[in-house]
């Protein structure tokens, strides 16, 4: 699963040819959440509140790039790296 971004100990990844809806995986320590790109709702798993808030803040800034990466992954192409939250 390619890593597309990493910041403050949070790792953002996408799988190739994943199930709908468009989403990404956010991992922090032993926690993992699946986050819908369109709604930014957690659709699986969980993250600690601070890690989730940082992840959502980052996703708001990069939603268009996330959708582009989703489309690349659906066609089995390598997603592009996305600038981390600073």
- Supply the pTM of this predicted model: 0.93
Residue 39 confidence (pLDDT): 97
Domain containing 85: what range?
Answer: 1-42+58-86
CB 8 within 8 A of CB 85: yes
Q: Which of 67, 19, 76 is nearest to 43 (CA)?
A: 19
Which helix (H) or strand (E) segment holds residue 24: the answer is strand 23-28
Report the half-sphere exposure of 25 (CA within 13 A, side-chain side). 13
Whether 38 is in a domain gets the answer yes
Domains: count for the chain: 1
Whether 9 is in a domain gets the answer yes
14-58 pLDDT, tens digit each: 988 778 899 999 999 999 999 999 999 999 999 999 999 999 999
- R_g (Cα) of the chain, nearest Å: 11
Backbone angles phi, psi at 3, to 5 degrees: -85, 125
59-71 pLDDT, tens digit each: 999 999 999 999 9
Residue 17 confidence (pLDDT): 76
Whether 49 is in a domain gets the answer no
Whether 19 is in a domain gets the answer yes
């Amino acid at each position: 699963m390619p890593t597309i971004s990493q910041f403050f100990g949070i790792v953002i990844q996408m799988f190739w040819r994943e199930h709908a809806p468009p989403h990404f995986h956010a991992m922090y320590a032993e926690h993992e959440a699946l986050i819908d790109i369109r709604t930014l709702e957690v659709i699986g798993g969980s993250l600690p509140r601070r890690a989730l808030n940082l992840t959502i803040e980052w996703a708001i800034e990069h939603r268009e790039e996330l959708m582009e990466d989703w489309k690349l992954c659906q066609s089995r192409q390598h997603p592009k790296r996305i600038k981390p939250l600073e």
